[in-house]
Amino acid sequence: MKYKINKGLINQVVGGKMTIFDGENSLLHTFSESGSFIFKKIRIGADDQDIIDMLVKRYGIKRAIAEKDFYEFVNELLLKGIISK
Amino acid sequence: MRTIYLKILDFKIKINLLSGLNQGPTKIAAIKQLEKQLETYLKPFISPIEFKKCDFIIDIDSDYTELDTTTIQNGQNIYMLMYKHISKNKIKTFYQIGIYQFGSIFQGILIDLLSKSSGFNMHCSAVLDNSSIILFMGRSGAGKSTISNLLNENYPKVADDISLIKKTGSNFFFYEGPEISKNWANRTANKYHIRCIYFLKKANKSWSEKISKEKALKILLESTRIKNRATIKSVMEFTDQFNEFYNLYFTKNKQEILKFMENTKK
């Protein structure tokens, strides 16, 4: 599955971390290093399975853990209106 | 018609002074007074070279008819026309407005031009330390004017209320702009490297602590006047590039704060 970043949000790397400004709600979101990595991959249009594979490779973790972490993060982004399916 | 040519923050701005014929003595006195004040207020930015193409035009009209008849009442408030947009890069205002109103209009124009050109404004005071700038930010009453006045003897004040930041090449610089505020500062048309940004907190002793970019960004966004997409992007980019953000706990003791500032250079 692919996700898209919702319109109206401004994203910029600040101090190595992906930072999102939600102008409509005047909210600022800053992601951790791994969150920034996932967001950048979503931004270039990678699908969920590709991103999970990349997480396994990058952090040397089991696929089940990568999947859990990925979907937890993605669900949060969906809830906050940062991305949509 | 007389034109004042301005070069400010790398923008070219023309002010057309449109004085009509058959003016009465009161109008002529008002026109002369505003012209004189404008020349003082804008002196460092007046270009000796005339130019045809420009980024913005301000017409100052001596015809009051439009102004006299354009008032709007809303409850107890009565609004009078201060200026009107003629096109996206031209406004018309009137001699009847004073220099303080003009200052406010002009600042708005600069901030708008900045927002379209990788720049932004910050609500802060600023002092000069050799050839670089130290900015002081904080909520109303935090001491922005107080600290710049305390330091003024060794660190000349270059902004009291609004600072203009613009990206030139790949770096952001502080630009001096005209500012009419409670404490007039001496202006030049210079741009400066920014040394550090302090977020002010009043205390009994002067000390500082470095703060994260995340916290700094939040405060910077709060203190920027126009928040369009381009401005926010510029503020975020600036925060990414810049590393010297501090909380400054300061005392009103002049010698102590001067000593503190000297120590920060070591």
Q: Which residue has the higher pLDDT, B263 or B182?
A: B263
For residue B22, pLDDT beyond 70: no
H helices present in chain B, as ranges: 25-42, 65-69, 99-115, 144-151, 213-222, 229-241, 254-264
The predicted pLDDT at position B180 comes to 62
Q: How many CB pairs under 8 A join A and B?
A: 35
Average the pLDDT over B128-140 and give the result: 91
**Could you give the ipTM of this predicted complex?**
0.81
The predicted pLDDT at position A54 comes to 95
Q: Looking at the complex, does the CB of residue B233 fall below 8 Å from at least one CB of chain A?
A: yes
Digit-coded pLDDT (tens) for B40-79: 888 889 999 999 999 999 999 887 666 666 778 889 998 8
From CA B6, how far away is CA A75, in angstroms rounded? 53
Which residue among B217, B227, B229 sits closest to A19, beta carbon to beta carbon? B217
For residue B183, pLDDT beyond 60: no
Which among A14, A18, A20, A31 is the top mutation candidate for probing chain B, defined by the most B β-carbons within 10 Å of its own β-carbon? A14
From CA A23, how far away is CA B206, in angstroms rounded? 36
CB contact under 8 A, A23 and B232: yes
Average the pLDDT over B243-251 and give the result: 94
CB contact under 8 A, B229 and A10: yes
Residue B122 region, left (φ>0) first, then alpha (ψ -120 to 50), else beta? beta
Chain B residues whose CB is inside 8 A of the A29 CB are none
Residue B247 φ/ψ, nearest 5 degrees: -85, 135
Chain A residues whose CB is inside 8 A of the B218 CB are 28
Which residue among A12, A21, A23 sits closest to B240, beta carbon to beta carbon? A12
The predicted pLDDT at position B64 comes to 66
How far is CA A63 from its chain centroid? Answer: 17
Classify strands B90-94 and B83-87 as parallel, antiparallel or unpaired. Answer: antiparallel
Please count the other Cβ atoms lying within 10 Å of the Cβ belonging to residue A17: 19
Q: Which residue does chain B place closest to A16, by CA atoms?
A: B240
H helices present in B116-152, as ranges: 144-151
The residues facing B83 across adjacent strands are B93
Q: What average pLDDT does the structure give for chain A?
A: 91
Residues 1-40 of A with CB under 8 A from B: 10, 12-15, 17, 19, 21, 23, 28, 30
Digit-coded pLDDT (tens) for A26-72: 889 999 999 999 999 999 999 999 999 999 999 999 999 999 999 99
Sign of the alpha-carbon dihedral angle for B224, B228, B232, B238:
negative
| Nearest-5° Cα angle at B51, B50 to B55 | 130
CB contact under 8 A, A14 and B236: yes
| Nearest-5° Cα angle at B135, B134 to B137 | 150
In the block, which residue shows the tokens 């910029």?
Answer: A12
